[in-house]
Structure 1
Amino acid sequence: MSNRVGMLIVAAMALVLVGCAHSPQQLNVQPKVQVPLNPVARNQPVTVTVQDTRSSKVMGTRGGIYPDSSSLTITDQSIPAIRLQVEQSLRQLGFVVVAEGTPNANNLTVNLAELSYSSPADGAYVTQADIGATFAAEARSMNQRYNGRYSASAQHRFGYAPNQATNTKLVTEVMSDALTRVFRDPSIVQILQQ
């Protein structure tokens, strides 16, 4: 009798774990600019705007048997974390980040334009994730404007369904790569130096 009860408990716990394996995940991403930035500016003032302009806050699903219930989103703290990284990068370049509306200040706007995560929909097991991120940036000086789009992507294969910490790490890496491309673009820096 106790053997049967033990088996029932193990089976119930396995069902609970399987049910949780594909629950929605909210990722607290904190992308970083991954290259050293040389101070090339001369304390020019720059205002910063960072926004999430995606059409949907859901970046995709984790796949599995019930993909509709396994959505992936980023937390509300993610955009302020991106803004902080943009401001720190500008300071490393030698700019002075100032408040919106400061006279004679140039502006850098960085929008999170796309963020995607897709897994094959044809299986019960999550074996692959295709992750993509795109930032759209606009640098404005008093008489010039420059727009650019900066994308990165990665494909990862798994022998198991990735947990929230793993997905946070993988999405952060792709976003960091895309954000780094913004600051590798010499045209952004040139416009802001005017």
Structure 2
Amino acid sequence: MVLRPVLNVTIPPLSQPRTIALTVLDMRSSKAFGVRGGIYDTALITPRTDVAQTLRRILAERLQSGNFRVIDRIEADDAAAALSLEVRIERINYGVTPLVTGGLLNEVRVEALFQAIARNGERTLSGQYQAVGTRQINGYLNAEQNEALLNEVVGKALQNILADHELMAVLRS
């Protein structure tokens, strides 16, 4: 499964470039998103690439479009005045629930939950950002449909971070 969410959020460009340290941490105990369900109950849905690295790249591209210069980490000397965004991947879950006996009608549910912490010197703001997507289907989703639903939900959760006006105000001030 290839994780490649699309973000449909625009960050208004800063008048002057600012350097920001961006960190994405995967806090999940399992790297699998879930199982397909039914006769596919042992078929794990797992990403082909490192989820944290993938999401960091996508967030970095979006921040750069807003005139942020994205770096990997903060130098210890500059910690007090540093500008940073840390995103923690708390949950990306995929589940199938039979709606009728026999598994002919199922509900597929994908949930993504992230925590974001914005720091600008002494000022800190954190929040949780969630997105959920469901599909009712006869049978089970195929690999392409699973991938599309996971990318849609993960993309919405990331968009929620960048669309948070309070969080972005901390990063812009």
Normalising by the residue count of structure 2, what TM-score does the alignment of the two structures yield?
0.86
Call closer, same or farther: CA 1:56–1:123 in 2, change over 3 Å: farther
- Residue 156 in structure 1 maps to residue 135 in structure 2: yes
Matched, 1:58 2:32: yes
Q: Structure 1 66/89 Cα, relative in aligned 2: closer, same or farther at 3 Å?
A: closer
Runs of 4+ in 1 over 4 A off after TM superposition: none
- Structure-2 separation of matches of 1:46 and 1:92: 13
Structure 1 residues without counterparts, runs of 5 or longer: 1-26
The AA in structure 2 aligned to 1:119 is V
**Identity value in percent:** 26
Does residue 153 of structure 2 align to residue 174 of structure 1? yes
Residues 23, 72 of structure 2: 8 Å contact kept: no
CA contact (8 A) 2:37 2:140 kept: no
Deviations 1:110-157 (Å, cap 9, x if unpaired)?
Answer: 111111111125534463201111111111111111111100101102
Residue from 22, 46, 57 that aligns with 1:48: 22
* Structure 2 counterpart of 1:73: 46
By how many angstroms is 1:38 displaced? 1.6
Aligned length: 167
The answer on whether the counterparts of 2:19 and 2:70 sit within 8 Å (CA) in structure 1 is: yes
Shift in Å at residue 172 of structure 1?
0.3
After TM superposition, the structure 1 = structure 2 runs for residues 131-142 of structure 1, keeping only pairs within 5 Å, are 131-142=110-121
Match of 1:110 among 87, 108, 128: 87
Contact 2:113 2:131 in 1 (8 A): yes
Q: Which residue of 2 aligns with 1:94?
A: 67
| Kept in 2: contact 1:115–1:132 (CA 8 A) | yes
TM-score in terms of structure 1 length: 0.77
**Contact 2:129–2:157 (CA under 8 A) maintained in structure 1:** yes
Match of 2:97 among 116, 120, 127: 120
What is the one-letter code of the residue matched to 1:150?
A: Y
Matched, 1:191 2:166: no
Greater Cα shift, 177-186 or 30-39: 30-39
- Specify the code of the residue in structure 2 equivalent to 1:81: T
Instruction: Tell me by how many angstroms 1:55 deviates.
Output: 2.5
Q: Please state if 1:32 is matched with 2:6.
A: yes
SS at match of 2:85: strand
Which has the larger displacement, 118-127 or 164-173?
118-127
Deviations 1:68-88 (A, max 9, x none): x12222233432221111111
More helix by share: 1
Question: Contact 2:24/2:88 (CA < 8 Å) preserved in 1?
Answer: yes
